[in-house]
Amino acid sequence: MMKAGRYKEAVDTLEAFVKGDPHSVEAWYNLGVALAECDRHDDAVKAYDEALAIDNMIFEIWFNKATVLYQLKDFKGAKECYQKAVEVRPDDAEAWNNLGNCLSRLGDGQKAIESYTRAVALKPDYAEAFYNKANAHFIEEDDEHAIAYAELAVKLDPKLGPLVEQWIQVSRARLEARKVQDEYERRTDPSKRLDKDLEGVD
């Protein structure tokens, strides 16, 4: 039923099944998937919780619960579930990327960057994660890294170009302004002028 996209039927069947066998982790998990596909997100979370109460070491349950919570804009709850997911499967690049998205939404830019870095280390051609990493650097006003990773993301996936163009010019302008400011301060810093004046003096 689920493979055929008949999710409402699947919900009815699985709800009846778990009433008779409430200890089936697979049934609760599949019920969560079907409920999420029917946009019954709160019920999906409850089904995933029932599955986790039986076995809390299954990556897919943590991952899917996190995804539903993110859709519900419960970024803190989603973050905690993605953290559990990467504990179970630390080599999953998508989970690290999604954890970064949660951290970014929660305003923790540096930890978001760390998560995106883990994602691209695991999957060096992960264009979306490189874009997210670039955007996090942009928010942190680390423009040199923002530009470098944005350009790499577009090289990997040219379709990301329009997203990058929304902010990369701001990054370039800020970077240029800093260079001008640094040069001005170098030229007007009395200690540096003195050092220059003393050059060549025996």
Handedness of CA 140, 142, 143, 145 (dihedral sign): negative
Whole-number pLDDT of residue 183: 79
Assigned domain for 170 exists: yes
Assigned domain for 199 exists: no
Phi-psi region of 102 (alpha: psi -120 to 50; beta: other; left: phi over 0): alpha
Which one of 99, 123, 147 terminates a domain? 123
Assigned domain for 200 exists: no
Q: 51 and 92 in one domain?
A: no
Domain residues for 80? Answer: 74-123
Q: 167 and 129 in one domain?
A: yes
118, 96 in Cβ contact below 8 A?
A: yes
Assigned domain for 97 exists: yes
End-to-end CA distance of the chain: 89
Q: 134 and 181 in one domain?
A: yes
Number of domains in the chain: 3
Q: 103 and 48 in one domain?
A: no
Q: Could you report the per-residue pLDDT of 66-80, keeping only the tens digit for each?
A: 999 999 999 999 999
Q: 119 and 137 in one domain?
A: no
Whole-number pLDDT of residue 1: 63
Q: 178 and 132 in one domain?
A: yes
**In whole angstroms, what is the distance from residue 65 CA to residue 46 CA?**
9
pTM for the whole thing?
A: 0.86
Q: Could you report the per-residue pLDDT of 103-162, keeping only the tens digit for each?
A: 999 999 999 999 999 999 999 999 999 999 999 999 999 999 999 999 999 999 999 999
Assigned domain for 89 exists: yes
Q: 178 and 142 in one domain?
A: yes
Whole-number pLDDT of residue 165: 94
What's the mean pLDDT when you consider all of the chain? 92
Assigned domain for 198 exists: no
43, 55 in Cβ contact below 8 A?
A: no
Give the domain CATH number at 89: 1.25.40.10
Assigned domain for 61 exists: no
